[in-house]
Amino acid sequence: MDRIALHTRLAPGKEEDYDRIHAVIPADLDAALRAAGVHTWRIWRDGRELFHVVECEDYRAMRAALRDHPANVPWQARMAELLEVEDDYSGEDDGLRHVWELPAEPPA
């Protein structure tokens, strides 16, 4: 299982639109994400900064599966109107570099 962190940035003034649109995503997009192996996708927003944590079977395979998916293409077009930089959904990235996490067990 992959756990990937991502960072995106909203275009100025698009914060409320982004929150409203993400209140409920389309059912066909939900189904496509799950079929592509996504278990969870969480997004936090601080002003215009968006931080995502995605847990999926295989991140690159998921991105490739969704790149041309009929449920994802219009969603990505809508997101491109809100984000500062468009995401190409190439699946060639590995997300943010993991630096540290609290160990499951305290040191002995």
pLDDT of amino acid 92: 75
**Token pair of 49 as six digits:** 């900064």
| pLDDT one digit per residue (tens) for the chain, 108 residues | 999 999 999 999 999 999 999 999 999 999 999 999 999 999 999 999 999 999 999 999 999 999 999 999 999 999 999 999 765 555 678 889 999 999 999 988
pTM: 0.89
C-alpha–C-alpha distance, residues 31 and 28, integer Å: 5
Residue ranges of domains in the chain, CATH in brackets: 2-80 (3.30.70.100)
pLDDT of amino acid 108: 82
47: left (phi over 0), alpha (psi -120 to 50) or beta: left
C-alpha–C-alpha distance, residues 32 and 95, integer Å: 20
